[in-house]
Amino acid sequence: MVVSIFVNPMQFDRADDLARYPRTLQEDCEKLKKRHVDIVFSPAPADIYPQGTDEATFVDVPGISTMLEGASRPGHFRGVSTIVSKLFNLVQPDIACFGEKDFQQLALIRKMVADMGYDIEIVGVPIVRAKDGLALSSRNGYLTADQRKIAPGLSKVMNTMAEQLLAKELTAEEIVALAEQALNDKGLSC
């Protein structure tokens, strides 16, 4: 089993965001050793982009790259598809696993694999959550203690919305209005 760990500069539209992004390679490697991972592939950015990211060839997956999260993070998903394509070419996996927490990214990778003709099975890995319901993420380290305390409210509101949609007793507009109020009540402003 090969695990890649790479903080991809092409995925960041702001240098300060890239500089602040948590890097826990040693801790990650210790966890992976306990999971009997054969190889941890953690190249330096210069190894992946020897000419830098501005002049690098890129892979773009139209449509899905610019909607939802992509609309507010220009170039992010182009960076994702480029690095994943490079890693697939280097490692040549039979199976590749990606977390369902980043669902748009998972959908983008599945589309890219189909469009590019990669013979790779893409497996979605269920979201891992803390006991209070917050999805585990390296970006949780950005949260203040107060933000961390209220953050689990988001998944609770989203789960309630899903239940309301399935019950078909309220309109979508009513569900959104109730969710906005619930988020505000929990200190998560919209």
pLDDT surpassing 80 at residue 160: yes
The pLDDT of residue 22:
77
| 102 belongs to a structural domain | yes
pLDDT surpassing 70 at residue 56: yes
Residues 9 and 58 in one domain: yes
Distance from C-alpha of 77 to C-alpha of 97, rounded to nearest angstrom? 17
| 132 belongs to a structural domain | no
> Which residues have a Cβ under 8 Å from the Cβ of 45 and sit 6 or more positions away?
7, 8, 9, 53
pTM, rounded to two decimals = 0.83
Residues 13 and 80 in one domain: yes
User: Where residue 190 falls among pLDDT bands split at 50, 70, 90?
Assistant: low
Distance from C-alpha of 9 to C-alpha of 171, rounded to nearest angstrom? 42
Mean pLDDT of 3-23: 85
Number of domains into which the chain is organized:
2
Which of 142, 143, 147, 64 lies closest to 103, judged by CA?
Answer: 64
Residues 6 and 50 in one domain: yes
CA 169, 172, 174, 177 torsion-angle sign = positive
The pLDDT of residue 21:
83
The enclosing domain of 121 has a CATH number of: 3.40.50.620
The pLDDT of residue 12:
84
The pLDDT of residue 18:
81
Mean pLDDT of 144-149: 94
The pLDDT of residue 173:
96
Residues 113 and 66 in one domain: yes
Q: Of 125, 157, 172, which residue sits at a domain end?
A: 125
DSSP strand pairing (2-4 vs 39-41): parallel
Residues 90 and 174 in one domain: no
pLDDT surpassing 80 at residue 106: yes
Residues 20 and 91 in one domain: yes
pLDDT surpassing 90 at residue 85: yes
Residues 105 and 150 in one domain: no
pLDDT surpassing 70 at residue 52: yes
Name the residue with tokens 């993420």: 137
Structural domain boundaries, residue 179: 138-185
| 179 belongs to a structural domain | yes
| 130 belongs to a structural domain | no
Residues 166 and 94 in one domain: no
The pLDDT of residue 188:
87
Residues 121 and 142 in one domain: no
